[in-house]
Amino acid sequence: MKSLRKRILAMASVVAVSGLMMASVAGAADKLIVKHATNVANAMDVTDAGLTGFNLNTPKYSVDVATPAAATDSTLHFAYDGADSGGWLSSVGENNFWISSGAVLKNNVWTQKSSDGKSIFFGSGSVGFRAFVNQGATVGGAVTLTEAYRLDYAGNFGLGTKTPTQRFDVNGGVRVNPTTATKPTCDNTTAANDRGTFWFTKNASTGKDILEICAQDASGNTAWRTLY
């Protein structure tokens, strides 16, 4: 009995020194805790409700990730081969969440990780949901943000503009080029779905192209109307 007690005490000492605490008592709030060497918050905390927290003592979700000490963001990293590349999920504050590929947001700085120099990231913030693209950055270097599009809180979507004023606002050209798509019927039967549709027909030879809109006339009849 004394020998068994010594073994249990020795095991408990090893567990305590390593920063790992396990609770087997029924009703204990925390079932598994991994302590930081110096920080107040636990490195990992698993509760009896099945909630797992990283860098916080009171997880609220199945997996709850908080900002580690001396950092300004909390990040999850995904890589198929374990390399320091792939994709990241990052949060840097309230209503500020990012999904990135090829670059990581760390301490409020985007750093290139992909060797091809390309990266793309999507995120929310005070101005709405935005997408950024980048190419030509060197691994480990800072990334220059080029905004591709934005959806603001008024529901306006902008391509190439940071200040969209309409539901779809484009700074640049818009090309209509149906190659394999099927042209809608556009008649009184399909009017509810087709009215307001633009359609461009490209002549395969040297003849005239055709630009049409599906619209209703003064008599209430819906059909394709030639604009050009």
- The domain boundary, picked from 145, 170, 195, lies at 170
Q: What is the per-residue pLDDT across 122-165, written as a single tens digit (0 to 9) for each? A: 999 999 999 999 998 999 999 988 999 999 999 999 999 999 99
Residues 156 and 78 in one domain: yes
Same domain, 209 and 193: yes
- The pTM of the full predicted model, rounded to 2 decimals, is 0.74
Residue type at 228 in one-letter notation: Y
Examine the pLDDT at 190 and tell me if it is beyond 70. Answer: yes
**Same domain, residue pair 148 and 84:** yes
Same-domain check for residues 58 and 108: no
Q: In terms of pLDDT, which residue wins out, 200 or 74? A: 200
Q: What is the pLDDT of residue 5?
A: 47
User: Which residue range forms the structural domain that includes residue 147?
Assistant: 74-170
Mean pLDDT, rounded, for 2-8: 49
Over residues 34-83, the pLDDT tens digits come to: 887 777 778 889 998 889 999 888 899 999 998 876 666 788 899 888 88
If asked whether residues 104 and 28 sit together in one domain, one would say no
Per-residue pLDDT averaged across 162-188, rounded?
A: 94
Of 155, 170, 185, which marks where a domain is finished?
170
Residues 88 and 152 in one domain: yes
Query: Do 139 and 211 reside in the same domain of the chain?
Result: no
Q: Higher pLDDT residue, 141 or 94?
A: 141
* Final residue belonging to a domain, choices 65, 87, 109: 65
Do 90 and 156 have their domain in common?
yes
Residues 40 and 99 in one domain: no
Q: What is the share, in percent, of the chain residues with pLDDT greater than 90?
A: 56
Q: State how many domains the chain has.
A: 3
| Residue 10 pLDDT > 50 | no
Q: Are residues 90 and 121 in the same domain?
A: yes
Between 23 and 50, residue with greater pLDDT: 50
Determine if residue 148 is left, alpha or beta; phi over 0 gives left, psi from -120 to 50 gives alpha, anything else beta. alpha
Under the banding of pLDDT at 50, 70 and 90, the label for residue 178 is confident
Instruction: Please indicate, yes or no, whether residues 80 and 129 belong to a single structural domain of this protein.
Output: yes
Tell me, yes or no, whether 166 and 210 share the same domain. no
